[in-house]
A = this chain, B = another copy of it.
Amino acid sequence: MSSLLEQLIEALRVLPGVGQKSAQRMAYHVLEREREGGKRLAETLAESIERIGHCARCRDFAETEICPICASAARDAHQLCAVESPADRLAIEQATGYRGLYFVLQGRLSPLDGVGPNELGLDKLAARLAEGEVKELIIATNPTVEGEATAHYLAQLARKHGVRPSRLAHGVPLGGELEYVDRGTLSHAFGSRTEMPS
């Protein structure tokens, strides 16, 4: 094997979920059948790493200092939605008709891993809430232990600045079967049952 090929296989392993075998398969596939696509990938990747930074307002990825959503006059500045990651922001943007703004924490509170309020830019968020324009902080952290802890922290922060905190509803997912829903979710959904409209 050529040593450049070995280097390529090694380099591919920075991608998440890619081990030795997959990296090998990827390298062979690109060299055998996708040289054009591989070239484009190399160029786009280099350019992305050089040019994509973080939005100064919402901390999401952005090519410009302020991302297009934060810069848009069409978005409602009274609503701010806090998410853990850019992927979560994208999921909400694609699935819902939400027209407010976002704040991307880039993580969740996790003291054991050294992730505290500073790492999540909560000083920035506090300053933003203090400005007075935001009326509702929609907390969309993940329903994990750490996500819930983060949500409680954010709710306190919001209340301190006179902002109404809200949380995504938990419950049985659409299309889910009760039999296969985990106990915690089912118990929560049962407790949070709502009256049916007639």
Query: What is the distance, in angstroms, from A17's C-beta to the closest C-beta of chain B?
Result: 7
A90 part of interface (Cβ distance < 8 Å): yes
Complex contact B62–A49 (CB within 8 A): no
Complex contact B37–A85 (CB within 8 A): no
Query: What is the distance, in angstroms, from A8's C-beta to the closest C-beta of chain B?
Result: 5
| CB-contact partner of A24 in B3, B62, B90, under 8 A | B90
Closest B residue by C-beta to A39: B49
Q: Mark A20-38, 1 if CB is under 8 A from B, else 0.
A: 0010111111111011011
The oligomer's copy count stands at 2
Q: How far is the CA of A45 from the CA of B93 in the complex (A)?
A: 33
Complex contact B39–A42 (CB within 8 A): no
| CB-contact partner of A15 in B1, B30, B47, B51, under 8 A | B30
Query: What is the distance, in angstroms, from A15's C-beta to the closest C-beta of chain B?
Result: 5
Q: Is the interface of A mostly helix, strand, loop or mixed?
A: helix
Query: What is the distance, in angstroms, from A106's C-beta to the closest C-beta of chain B?
Result: 7
A186 part of interface (Cβ distance < 8 Å): no
Closest B residue by C-beta to A1: B90
**Could you show 21 A-B contacts with beta carbons less than 8 Å apart?**
A1-B86, A2-B52, A2-B63, A2-B64, A4-B47, A4-B51, A4-B52, A11-B45, A14-B38, A15-B26, A15-B29, A16-B25, A17-B22, A30-B45, A30-B49, A31-B48, A31-B49, A31-B61, A38-B48, A38-B49, A42-B45
Residues of A whose CB lies within 8 Å of any CB of B are 1-5, 7-8, 11-12, 14-17, 22, 24-32, 34-35, 37-49, 51-52, 61-64, 67-68, 85-87, 90, 93, 106
